[in-house]
Structure 1
Amino acid sequence: METSKAHVALLPLPGMGHMIPFLGLGKLFVTHHNFKVTIFLVSIDHSSQTLSKTIISEMSNELCNIVQLPPVDITGVVDPNATVGLRLSVTMREIVPAFRSSVATMKPCPTVLITDIFGTDAFSVAEEFGMLKYVFSPSNAWILALTIYTPVLDKEVKGEYVHQKEPLKIPGCASVRVEDLFDPLLDRTNQQYDEYLHAGIRLRTSDGVLMNCWEELQPKTVAALRDDKLLGCVLKRPVYPVGPIVTQSGNSSKSGLLFDWLNKQSNDSVVYVSFGSGATLSHEQMTELAFGLELSQQRFVWVVRAPTKESGNKTYLKGRSGDENHDQFGYLPNGFMSRIQNVGFVISDWVSQVDILSHPSIGAFISHCGWNSTLESILMGVPIIAFPLFAEQKMNATMLTEEFGMAVRLEVLPSKKVVGREEIQKKVRKIMVDNEGHGIRDRVNELKYSAKEALCKGSSSYKALSELAKRFEARMQLQNKKAPSPITHE
C-alpha cells in the first residue's frame, strides 16, 4: 500500500473557467509537494464531455490522474430553459452518487477533497471516507465575500436586491452596486437564487476555502474574511489565497500565421479582442465592435465566434471549435475583412490566449473580464478595456477599473445595451494613444510584479499552499494509522 504522499481529489464544475484553475492547482500540488492528484471531470451533457477531454489533452502534461465521471441526466430535475448556473448546480448535486462510486474503488482513498463553491454536496462523500473537505473558489476574494454574506443579506434585505436604492454592504469590503449584481441575485424567486444561497451556507461546513488570488492583490477583503468582527464571524473557516493560478496549454506553439503577423508588429501596438470560450455577441454588437476597431486606427487581433440573436452565455459549455465559415466571416460587415487587411488579424479557431497576451506586440485587451482572462492579463502586464457580459464579470470590471486602476470601463453595460462604435473607438484610443493610457499601463505592471512575487518561495501564496500541504500530510498520516494492516501468511 502506497503511503508516502497525500492524495488530493479535485472536483471542479464543467467549463473552461472552472476546470483550468483546478488543473493548475493540481499541478502545483504535484510539482511543489509531490502529492498524488486526481481530477474528477463532470459533464453536463455529451458536448461538454467532449470539451472536458479537449481541455485536458491540451493543458495536462500527465502530472494529474484524470477520471471522467459519466454525464448525468437532469432533464427531469430542471426546466429545459433553465439558466446555465442552475444546470451546473443541479448537475453537481446529481453527480454525487457517481463520484462516491469512483472514490470507493480507490485504494487508498484520497486524503482530501477540494471542490467548487457549487460542489459542496460531495462533502457527504468526503465525510464517509474520512477525507478533509475544502472549497476552491476559482475567482477573487470579493466574489467569495459576497457568496459568504448572501445568507445574511437574505435575512436582512426585504424585497428584490435589484430594487434597492443603496449598494449592498459587505462588512469590511467594497459594497456591491445593484447594477453589478450577477445572475443568481437578480431574482430571489428563481431556483438559481436558492442554489446560490445554499452554496453560501454550505461553505461554512468546509475545512477551509482556497481563492485564486493573492494576499497583496486584495488585502482589505482578505483581512475581512479572516476578521471575527467582520466576515470571519460568518465563515468561521480559514481562507487561503493561493493564486494567481494560470494554466497554459501543454501543446501551445508560437508559430503559424497569427504569430508570424504578431512578430512583425511593434511593441504594445496591437489590441487583443476575445470574450472567452463561452460567450457570444449579438450580430448588432459584433457589427459595432468591428466598426469601432476599424475607426480606432489601431492594429488588432480578434478571436471571433459566429454571432447569436442575443449576447450572453448560451454557449458557455459548448467550447470553441472554430466556425464552419471561418474562412469567409460572412457575419462581419461588408468589406470589413478587405479594409483591415494590413491592420487586423481575425481568427475563429482555438488559440492559446496566454501565448497571445505574452507577445510583446500586445498593448491592450478587450475582455469580458472573466477571472482567468483577468489573471492572464495581469501576469502579462496588459491593460484591459472591460467588456463584461454575464456572471460575475460586472463586479470584476468594477474592481479592475475602480480598485486596481488597470482597466477602462465602457459608459454602458454590454449586458444591458449595445455598445456603439464611437464608444469602442474612444476606449481603445484611451489606452493605446492617450496619455492616460501610460498610467494604466504602469499600474498593471505593478500588479504583474506583485502577482509573480506572491508565487515565489517564502511569499504569501507559496506559504498558503505550503500550510495546506502540511494539513493534508497530517491527515494522510492519521489515515495510515487507522488503515488495517495487510494480512500476511507465513
Structure 2
Amino acid sequence: MAASANRAAVNGAAGSGEPEASRDHFMASLSSSPPLVVVSDFFLGFTHGVAADAGVRRVVFHGMSCFSMAICKLLPVSPPAGVEHGAGGGSPFHVSGMPENVMITAEDIPYSVAKFTDMDDPVTRFLIDNVFQSDVRSWGILVNSFAALDGDYVAPVEAFYEQGARAWLVGPLLPAAGETPERDEENDDPEGCLAWLDERAARPGSVVYVSFGTQAHVADEQLDELARGLVQSGHPFLWAVRSNTWSPPVDVGPDQGRIVRGWVPQRGVLAHESVGGFVSHCGWNSALESLAAGKPVLAWPMIAEQYLNARHIVDIVGTGVRVDSGGGAAVVGRAEVEEKIRMLMDAGGEAAQRMRARAAWARRAAMSAVSDGGTSRVALQKLVGELQRSYDDVVIKVG
C-alpha cells in the first residue's frame, strides 16, 4: 500500500494506540502454524515484535519507491537549512546521501517528514511509537519497484536498517506486469471505458486519461479549470471523477471526452492503444502502472510522497512533465492545463517525442524485470533461497 494511501489510516490510528484485535489475531495465527517469514506493511509495526517472540523473521513491505523512501529517511538526519515544508517556489537543493543529480524543493517534502521532530504532532507520535523502530529492525525490506528504475537508491535505504538488512526490489507488483490485461468488461468495466476507447483506435495515442486516485480531495474550482483546459486542448479525454456533486462548467460532447464517476479499469485503460498520456496524482501504484504501460505522465502531485514520485518520474526517469502551479491546494489554471496537455500529447513536439521514447524504455525495463531471469524475479528467488537456508541452519543447530 502506497504511503499516500496510508495517511488517513495513520491519522485514524495516531490517537488509538496499538491495534489490539489485529495483534491478538496475528499472535494466534503464528502460534497455530508458525511460518518461515512474516511479510507485513511498514505501518504494521507491531508485527515485528510478535514475529520476533515467535522466532520468525519479519520482512517489511514498502509500497513506495526506493527514491522516495531514501529521501524520507535522509531528510530528518540532514535537514536543509532554511527550508520549510510546503513553501512555494524556492531553489532546488541536493539531498545529502543521494546521487548528485537528485534535486528537490521544499514543496516536495512530505508532511510527516517535515514534522519528524515535532513530538506534539499526532502523526509523528504514532510513527515513532508504533512504526520506525520496528521498521529498522526488520530482517529485510521488500520494495515494489525494479532495479533499472530504483537501483541507484537502494544503498541509502539499506543504510538505515540494522543487522545488514537488504532491500529486495521485486516489482512492479502488477498482474502480468507490462502485458495487456485480459478484458472482462461485464465485471471489470461496468462504465464501458474500454469500448469507448475502442471507438478511437483509429487514432492511436490520441486520448488523455485523467485520474487523481481516491485519497486527495480536489476542489470544485480546480475541477472547473481542469475541465476547461481539457476541452481547450483539443484532445479527447477519459476522466475518472470522484465527486458525485460536481458538474462540468462546459458541455463535453461524446467526441470531446468522457467523464466517468464509477469504477475505471486503470491498467486496461493505460494499456489501450488509444491512450497517449496520463494526467496523474503520482501515487506510486499509478506511477508504476504508467511506466509498465509505457505511457508518459502529466504529473500533478497532491499529498504525501506524491511530490517525490513526480520529481522522480519527471526529472530522473524523464517520462513526464509537471504542472508549474504547484499542485496540492494551489489552483492550476485552464491555460496551464491546456499548455501541458499539448506538451504531453502533441506527437510532433520535441518534448512529447522525448517523453514517449523514455516511456517506451520504462515499459521494456518493467517487462524485463519480471520476466524469467529478470532482476525482480531473480531478487525474489534469492530472497526465498536465503530464507530457506537460514531456516535450515536453525533446524540443524537445534537438531
- Give the alignment's TM-score, normalised by structure 2: 0.84
Write out per-residue CA displacement over residues 419-472 of structure 1, whole angstroms, 9 at most, x where no aligned residue.
000100001111211332111101110011011111122221111111111133
| Corresponding position of 1:303 | 240
Instruction: Give 1:446's match in structure 2, choosing from 351, 361, 364.
Output: 361
| Corresponding position of 1:144 | 69
2:100 matches 1:185:
no
2:219 matches 1:282:
yes
CA–CA separation in structure 2 for the residues paired with 1:145 and 1:235: 18
2:36 matches 1:111:
yes
Alpha carbons 1:387, 1:409 under 8 Å: kept? yes
CA–CA separation in structure 2 for the residues paired with 1:392 and 1:114: 22
* Counterpart mapping for 1:316-465 below 5 A: 323=244, 331-337=246-252, 340-433=253-346, 434-465=349-380
Alpha carbons 2:48, 2:134 under 8 Å: kept? no
SS of aligned partner of 2:330: coil
**Do the aligned partners of residues 159 and 261 (structure 1) sit closer, same or farther apart at CA in structure 2, a change above 3 Å counting?**
closer
**Do the aligned partners of residues 204 and 406 (structure 1) sit closer, same or farther apart at CA in structure 2, a change above 3 Å counting?**
same
SS of aligned partner of 2:149: coil
CA–CA separation in structure 2 for the residues paired with 1:447 and 1:299: 25
CA–CA separation in structure 2 for the residues paired with 1:110 and 1:159: 48
CA–CA separation in structure 1 for the residues paired with 2:388 and 2:350: 52
Give the letter for the 2:299 counterpart.
A
Give the letter for the 2:110 counterpart.
F
* Counterpart mapping for 1:246-257 below 5 A: 246-247=174-175, 252-253=184-185, 257=192
SS of aligned partner of 2:44: helix
CA–CA separation in structure 1 for the residues paired with 2:133 and 2:18: 19
Give the letter for the 1:87 counterpart.
N
2:51 matches 1:126:
yes
CA–CA separation in structure 2 for the residues paired with 1:165 and 1:363: 32
2:181 matches 1:268:
no
Alpha carbons 2:138, 2:161 under 8 Å: kept? no
Identify the range of structure 1 (250-259 vs 280-289) with the bigger mean alpha-carbon deviation. Answer: 250-259
* Counterpart mapping for 1:160-199 below 5 A: 161-162=84-85, 167=93, 169-173=95-99, 174-187=102-115, 188-189=117-118, 190-196=121-127, 199=131
**1:475 Cα deviation after fit:** 5.0
CA–CA separation in structure 1 for the residues paired with 2:16 and 2:149: 30
* Counterpart mapping for 1:75-114 below 5 A: 84=8, 86-87=10-11, 90=14, 94-105=18-29, 107-114=32-39
SS of aligned partner of 1:218: helix
2:140 matches 1:208:
yes
Instruction: Give 1:238's match in structure 2, choosing from 151, 161, 166.
Output: 166
Alpha carbons 2:75, 2:95 under 8 Å: kept? no
CA–CA separation in structure 2 for the residues paired with 1:243 and 1:446: 16
Which stretches in structure 2 are left out of the alignment for 5+ residues? Answer: none
**1:387 Cα deviation after fit:** 0.8
**Do the aligned partners of residues 160 and 234 (structure 1) sit closer, same or farther apart at CA in structure 2, a change above 3 Å counting?**
farther
Alpha carbons 2:214, 2:242 under 8 Å: kept? no
Alpha carbons 2:49, 2:134 under 8 Å: kept? no
CA root-mean-square deviation = 3.2
CA–CA separation in structure 1 for the residues paired with 2:248 and 2:182: 36
SS of aligned partner of 1:336: coil
SS of aligned partner of 2:39: strand
Give the letter for the 1:104 counterpart.
A
SS of aligned partner of 2:61: strand
**Do the aligned partners of residues 161 and 237 (structure 1) sit closer, same or farther apart at CA in structure 2, a change above 3 Å counting?**
farther
SS of aligned partner of 1:298: coil
Alpha carbons 2:93, 2:103 under 8 Å: kept? yes
**Do the aligned partners of residues 400 and 444 (structure 1) sit closer, same or farther apart at CA in structure 2, a change above 3 Å counting?**
same
% identity of equivalent residues: 26
Which stretches in structure 1 are left out of the alignment for 5+ residues? Answer: 1-11, 19-82, 307-322, 324-329, 485-490
CA–CA separation in structure 1 for the residues paired with 2:238 and 2:276: 11
CA–CA separation in structure 2 for the residues paired with 1:260 and 1:101: 44
**Do the aligned partners of residues 89 and 161 (structure 1) sit closer, same or farther apart at CA in structure 2, a change above 3 Å counting?**
farther
**1:417 Cα deviation after fit:** 1.0
Alpha carbons 1:388, 1:414 under 8 Å: kept? yes
Give the letter for the 2:274 counterpart.
S
Give the letter for the 1:146 counterpart.
I
| Corresponding position of 1:488 | none
| Corresponding position of 1:471 | 386
Alpha carbons 2:45, 2:132 under 8 Å: kept? no
Write out per-residue CA displacement over residues 205-228 of structure 1, whole angstroms, 9 at most, x where no aligned residue.
1101111111111232124445xx
SS of aligned partner of 2:321: strand
SS of aligned partner of 2:77: helix
CA–CA separation in structure 2 for the residues paired with 1:402 and 1:376: 18
**Do the aligned partners of residues 234 and 422 (structure 1) sit closer, same or farther apart at CA in structure 2, a change above 3 Å counting?**
farther
CA–CA separation in structure 1 for the residues paired with 2:246 and 2:352: 32
Alpha carbons 1:252, 1:355 under 8 Å: kept? no
SS of aligned partner of 1:136: strand
SS of aligned partner of 2:23: helix
